[in-house]
Amino acid sequence: MSEPLFDYLLRLGDERLVLGHRLSEWCGHGPILEEDIALANIALDLIGQANLLLGLAGEVEGKGRDADALAYLRDAREFRNHPLAELPNGDYAFTMVRLFLLSAHAYCVLDGLRSSSHQELAGIAAKAFKETTYHVRHSAEWLVRFGDGSEESRRRVGTALEEAWRWTGTLFLADVVDQELQARGLAPDPAAAAPAWRALVDAVLERATLPPPSAAPLSGRGYRRGDHTEHLGHLLAEMQVLARTHPGAEW
């Protein structure tokens, strides 16, 4: 087994890199100029967080790989992001539902991670926590407006919620890596953040006048070994093509 902290940082970093890339796909295609800028801002926040986390992961690994090498020169099976982050954007309702569920998850995890005994990780968590607070606020306000909006917006957000909800079953999965980090005081118990996440989600769904999702969550934990949906490979092909076509290029 490799260093557990390396694995843990990859999980955090990859999730932000992949979700940030997905959001960046909206750039120039947003439904209105103001939303286009809002999503690009959030995408840049996430990619900035990924840069810090993968940079630290490279240092922990100690094999000379920097954030760019980890982002651009790994294949899909080496990525450790949660599959919800890699699903295609779908319509704006799905984009916002997915962003809300993952931002709320990040918010609850980062809250505890700010107290990590690893000073640099605690610092990154504190910075990311502030950014994530806004991501939750922005996406939550859209959920409320879709749910409590027109017949069509309500139908679309309901469909998006059922679809995204199936993937939330493994958000708080704790495995040997989490247990090891918790034992060393580096990261909180993932399960401890679950009640706060559910309370946050329920409060927003209530404001949105949306019923709790009924879809049974999937339990597959294969993504921790590198099993992903077919969508991640396509995403990486586009994200990595420049770096792989011109190895070592700087600009």
Partner 1 sequence: MSGPDAPADDAEAGESEWPLWEVFTQPGAGRPHEHAGSLHAPDAELALQNARDVYTRRGEAVSIWVVRSDAIVASSPSEAGPFFEPGNDKAYRHPQFYKVPRGVRSV
> Which amino acid makes up residue 209?
T
C-alpha pair distances (Å), 207 with each of 17, 108, 122, 213: 30, 20, 33, 15
Task: Using the minimum distance from each CB to partner 1, give the nearer residue, 30 or 123.
Answer: 30
SS3 content of the chain, % helix, strand, coil (to 5): 70, 0, 30
Window 3-42: residues binding partner 1 (CB under 8 A): 32-35, 37-38, 41
- Encoded tokens for 29: 């295609």
CB of 37 to partner 1, least distance (A): 5
Give whichever of 121 and 140 is closer to partner 1, judged by the CB atom.
140
Query: Which one of 77, 130, 137, 221 is in contact with partner 1 (CB under 8 A)?
Result: 137
Annotate each residue in 108-127 with x if it binds partner 1 (CB under 8 A) or - if it does not, as one string: --------------------
Task: Please pick, from the candidates 138, 177, 204, 235, the single residue that binds partner 1 as defined by CB under 8 A.
Answer: 138
Nearer to partner 1, 38 or 108 (CB): 38
Q: Is 236 helix (H, G, I), strand (E, B) or coil?
A: helix
Instruction: Find the binding residues for partner 1 in span 144-203 (CB under 8 A).
Output: 145
Using CB under 8 A, which of the segments 60-68, 85-93, 134-142, 218-226 binds partner 1?
A: 134-142
- Pick between residue 25 and residue 35 the one whose CB is nearest to partner 1: 35
Q: Which residues touch 163 (CB under 8 Å, ≥6 apart)?
A: 90, 94, 215
By CB under 8 A, the count of residues binding partner 1 is: 12
Nearby residues of 184 by Cβ (< 8 Å), 6 or more positions away: 117
Angle between helices 4-24 and 176-183 (to 10 degrees): 120
CA 127 from chain centre, in angstroms, equals 16
Residues that bind partner 1 (CB under 8 A): 32-35, 37-38, 41, 134, 137-138, 141, 145
